[in-house]
Chain A
């Protein structure tokens, strides 16, 4: 009895209800959306996307969740607003006609207004209330309510009224988004965060090295878990997309399917089967060692398997890559035409790292490839610090692996300082790491390839010579001669040398064989004659033995006959005796 009562007392903490924003990524960070029936403050500097975010919240609420919304603007005129968001494909005019949205433009002109004595903002309440009730709105946007402070003089009244407004909105049961300009050192210029205590989202547009990155952070979210990081977001023709790029969990499906690299001899180094599907592969090496060629082989092989492949080129244009690869007998054009291979070439400096990440995300989501090539990741360092690039790549790999996409990264290493670490510090993150190295010796340069690591499979620990010819790539076993590893022409000389000695050796062997053959024949002949000799001897012996036997029998017979003739009786008795003897 007591136990059941105790059980009843444990009330599951009621999760607060959420109002989904429909903005890609934001719902994931907020674990479902904004707090339903409560106001949310969106603050940030000028031009960081506050208005857009709130409009998207309203419009997507209408389009996706069929929740009408009220837009109350204190800044832009209703028509201007409609024109501004039309570029994103939001047709506010039609929505207004359908009574899905109501836009109220609040204009306050200080020069027109004289203040005498006490007043309150009931007019605003009534307008808002009327707008909400006329369309049955569930969502409200107030952009930018702080303009009241500019229009009216009595700050004390405004503050009191704002507090009342927010309580009133809660009692109305609408989910409100309120935008506010960021102030110096504070979230909002007029301290609105004091009143809106349920959820505060901060937007930022940060410029470093002349490259701007938009960032979003949830400063607080009462009663709910939420991502705490700064998340980059992108504004493009589809509106806002936020990237919840760091998934906090290291949980993902893994495939034990193996896919070929397109280079049979490389597959052989990897236990004969190639890499795991969905793994990440890093190819690093000094300039001109054929990193791109390996990556292209992989892409080509994927296309041959009828898998889609997305190639992000940060150094060469697609046409350049296609032309260059023709020289090693790979025709990428057919794959491009069949739509299996897609190139995306852009300069790293085109936008910030985060934007690149967002762009890659979007492309991957659109194209749904099975293989992604990023060539090279090194150039990204030019737009960010090593740690930034690393964090970006972590998130990128995370995302691609979540989607079970095999990714090939190429990285340029500095030839002067050969270290077992790539510049981007991603070598520890990837599943497999191949290293292509220049080996300079004997007045020539050759390429050597190692597999530094390949998680979860047996792989060769040997350095292979890596050759690029008209026929494509190949890996050749290096020669371990007396003077160490032999490659290039030295290897070929050694090979010829070995062939020669092999011929000499086989000649010698055949001579010995013949000798043995001859010996064998002689011996066989000897054995035959000996056997014949033995047989005649045997026959001789047998002959005397048989004669002896015969003689003995005859003697016995004669004796018996003699005895019978002598006695003439009791034949039977007498017969027994000789048999016993």
Chain B
């Protein structure tokens, strides 16, 4: 057991209400619920509304998921359809159904 519970701070950058963004958000929520229950915060940033934020996180592709905490910073781009890749990217140990 770790002394302190880690919180995953996740930021999802989208641009408007597109199919890809929606798919990404749905996928992300699903994985988090499954593997990080209660240990995550998701912030969705719509760049169409806040374009000035794109520079700070070096956003190029949409959608981009940025994991700021815990370190290291990782970015996952795309609609997050590949669960294994997302989990590796976010450094999440999948919760086994058996345990």
Residues of A whose CB lies within 8 Å of any CB of B are: 104, 106-108, 112-124, 126-127, 129-130, 148, 151-152
Query: Is the beta-carbon distance between B59 and A123 smaller than 8 angstroms?
Result: yes
Query: Is the beta-carbon distance between A112 and B15 smaller than 8 angstroms?
Result: no
Query: Is the beta-carbon distance between A121 and B61 smaller than 8 angstroms?
Result: yes
Query: Is the beta-carbon distance between A126 and B77 smaller than 8 angstroms?
Result: no
Contacts of B43-81 to chain A: CB distance below 8 A: 47-48, 51-52, 54-55, 58-64, 72-81
The 4 closest A-B pairs by CB, nearest first: A130-B51, A117-B78, A117-B79, A117-B81
- Taking CB as reference atom, which chain B residue is nearest A130? B51
Bound form: Cα–Cα A116–B73 in Å: 17
Bound form: Cα–Cα A531–B40 in Å: 158
Query: Is the beta-carbon distance between B51 and A119 smaller than 8 angstroms?
Result: no
Query: Is the beta-carbon distance between A130 and B78 smaller than 8 angstroms?
Result: no
Query: Is the beta-carbon distance between B82 and A117 smaller than 8 angstroms?
Result: yes
How many of B's residues come within 8 Å of A, CB to CB?
33
In the assembled complex, B11 has its CB within 8 A of some CB on chain A: no
- Taking CB as reference atom, which chain B residue is nearest A108? B60
Query: Is the beta-carbon distance between B60 and A123 smaller than 8 angstroms?
Result: yes
A79 CB → nearest B CB, Å:
15
Query: Is the beta-carbon distance between B77 and A130 smaller than 8 angstroms?
Result: no
CB-defined A-B contacts under 8 Å, sample of 17: A108-B58, A112-B73, A112-B75, A114-B74, A114-B75, A115-B76, A115-B78, A116-B81, A117-B80, A117-B81, A117-B82, A121-B61, A122-B15, A123-B61, A123-B62, A124-B60, A126-B62
In the assembled complex, B35 has its CB within 8 A of some CB on chain A: no
Query: Is the beta-carbon distance between A126 and B48 smaller than 8 angstroms?
Result: yes
Query: Is the beta-carbon distance between A123 and B80 smaller than 8 angstroms?
Result: no
Bound form: Cα–Cα A152–B58 in Å: 13
Bound form: Cα–Cα A116–B80 in Å: 5
Question: Quick one: which of B24, B55, B63, B75 contacts A104, CB cutoff 8 A?
Answer: B55
Query: Is the beta-carbon distance between A120 and B73 smaller than 8 angstroms?
Result: no
Question: Quick one: which of A106, A114, A148 contacts B58, CB cutoff 8 A?
Answer: A106
- B6-42: CB near A (< 8 Å → 1, else 0) gives 0000000101000010011000000000000000000
- Given A121-B62, A123-B64, A126-B54, CB of A113 within 8 Å of CB of B47: no
- Taking CB as reference atom, which chain A residue is nearest B85? A116
A404 CB → nearest B CB, Å:
54
Q: Which of A104, A121, A123 has most chain B Cβ within 10 Å?
A: A123
Bound form: Cα–Cα A120–B54 in Å: 14
B50 CB → nearest A CB, Å:
9
Bound form: Cα–Cα A114–B85 in Å: 7
Query: Is the beta-carbon distance between A106 and B76 smaller than 8 angstroms?
Result: no
Bound form: Cα–Cα A104–B59 in Å: 12
Question: Quick one: which of B55, B76, B77, B86 contacts A127, CB cutoff 8 A?
Answer: B55
Q: Besides A116-B80, A117-B80, 12 other CB < 8 A contacts?
A: A108-B60, A113-B77, A114-B76, A114-B88, A114-B89, A116-B79, A117-B24, A118-B81, A119-B62, A119-B78, A148-B60, A152-B60
Contacts of A108 in B (CB 8 A): 58, 60
